Structure 1
């Protein structure tokens, strides 16, 4: 691991810790609770599937907000929608197909509607060739991201998020909607 990479990871962890520490401030009683979200985005990375550009990504999440600054979320993201990716290839390479994970979110409200947040997660990424020549396999990897959220109402919010899957070097830019119960 390079010094630059290590520094980035420690800086992100420090930001998450700072955001989480601010979570203990007094806040409205309805800031916590269960939420569901869905997102649509574009994935790009170093895998051969991304050489022609980017790939569509769909995501779903369910989480629990402890307060307006701190949440935990189970999430699923598709990382490639290449239906016939290696159909004519005799020696296909692996690419990240989808990811299932658990993340810690720490946010900081900017005003009554806007907030910024950071995400740190871990999970399993399914690696596929898109063929039956080689079997799929799963690997563990971390994910980290930054986002902006806008609360249209106390229960309904929109999110713009950048997410990075570290082991596969996949970048994901998504727009999502969240409903808070």
Structure 2
């Protein structure tokens, strides 16, 4: 049974381009997302905080796109005289490549791989802020209303700073 299910899933993914719209046109897109950022750290409250992001990208082929993005992480540091001095991630910007598999005319799955800079804020005035080079990976699903408008749900992970993001957003392709 497990083998049959794996074969069906692999067959659907291999056939995904056949389901895709035949009238694909490459183009620039804009997207914005809102969601939650969370981290396990001794410097940051781990309850999860709002994150906002914006991106401009180019959909080169039905399966390949590139984007430049920025994300505000809005994580709350532990404040107070007894908290240990340290750094917490505050914002992140970078570039990413997105691989997309269209399942049919409306649904798609995608993966993200990229690199960026994460601004690390100090929780003490005596410490200076710093930046870290931070890879990002993610997976998501999209629902396409038409060629221009789509909604996306994505889970991403900043690998060096160990920030987990769960976002929901809208995308407009020109």
Q: Is TM more than 0.5 here?
A: yes
Give the secondary-structure state (helix, strand or coil) at the position aligned to 2:128: coil
Q: Does 1:42 align with 2:36?
A: yes
Q: 1:126 aligns with which of 119, 122, 142?
A: 119
Higher helix share: 1
Deviations 1:54-112, CA, capped at 9 Å, x for gaps:
01100110000002211000011112243xx3553465321111111000000000000
Contact 1:71-1:105 within 8 A present in 2 as well: yes
Consecutive unaligned residues of structure 1, counting only runs of 5 or more, are: 1-17
Structure 2 CA distance for aligned equivalents of residues 89 and 101 of structure 1: 34
How far the C-alpha of 1:34 sits from its partner, in A, is 0.2
Consecutive unaligned residues of structure 2, counting only runs of 5 or more, are: 1-12
| TM value normalised by structure 1 | 0.79
Q: 1:74 aligns with which of 68, 71, 75?
A: 68
Contact 2:40-2:162 within 8 A present in 1 as well: yes
Structure 2 CA distance for aligned equivalents of residues 154 and 46 of structure 1: 39
Q: Does 1:98 align with 2:91?
A: yes
How far the C-alpha of 1:153 sits from its partner, in A, is 2.0
Hey, what does 2:23 align to over in structure 1? 28
How many residues align? The count is: 156
| TM value normalised by structure 2 | 0.82
After superposition, the CA RMSD in angstroms is 2.2
Contact 1:145-1:162 within 8 A present in 2 as well: yes
Deviations 1:9-33, CA, capped at 9 Å, x for gaps:
xxxxxxxxx99xx7xx994242x10
Structure 1 CA distance for aligned equivalents of residues 54 and 90 of structure 2: 15
Give the secondary-structure state (helix, strand or coil) at the position aligned to 2:90: strand
Hey, what does 2:55 align to over in structure 1? 61
Q: Does 1:114 align with 2:102?
A: no
Contact 1:38-1:177 within 8 A present in 2 as well: yes
How far the C-alpha of 1:133 sits from its partner, in A, is 2.2
